[in-house]
Amino acid sequence: MGAQNGRDLLIKVDMSGDGLFGTVAGLRATRVSFNAESVDVTSLESAGGWRELLSGAGVKSASISGSGVFKDADTDERARQIFFDGETPDFQVIIPDFGVVEGPFQITAIEYSGNHDGEATYELAMASAGALTFSAL
Across residues 18-31, what is the average pLDDT? 89
Q: What is the pTM of this model?
A: 0.85
Least trusted range by pLDDT, from 34-38, 70-74, 115-119, 133-137: 70-74
Neighbours of 105 (CB within 10 A): 28
Between 111 and 7, name the one with better pLDDT: 111
Q: How far apart are CA 50 and CA 43, in angstroms?
A: 9
CATH architecture of the region 6-136: Irregular (4.10)
Q: How far apart are CA 96 and CA 70, in angstroms?
A: 24
Per-residue buried b or exposed e for 83-104, using 16+ beta carbons within 10 Å of the residue's own CB: beeebbbbbbbbbeeeeebbbb
Q: Is 27 exposed, middle or buried (0-12, 13-18, 19+ CB in 10 A)?
A: buried
Mean pLDDT of 36-58: 93
75 and 24 Cβ atoms separated by less than 8 Å: yes
Q: How many Cα neighbours within 13 Å face the side chain of 126?
A: 33
Among 105, 107, 109, residue whose Cα is nearest residue 132: 105
Q: What is the pLDDT of residues 57-102, one digit of tens each?
A: 899 999 999 999 887 678 888 999 999 999 999 999 999 888 999 9
Residue 9's SS3 state is: coil
Mean pLDDT of 10-20: 91
Whether the predicted pLDDT of 12 surpasses 80: yes
How do residues 92-107 score in pLDDT, each as one tens digit? Answer: 999 988 899 999 999 9
User: DSSP characters for 27-83?
Assistant: EEEEEEEEEE---B---TTSGGG---B-TT-S-EEEEEEEEEE----HHHHHHHHHH
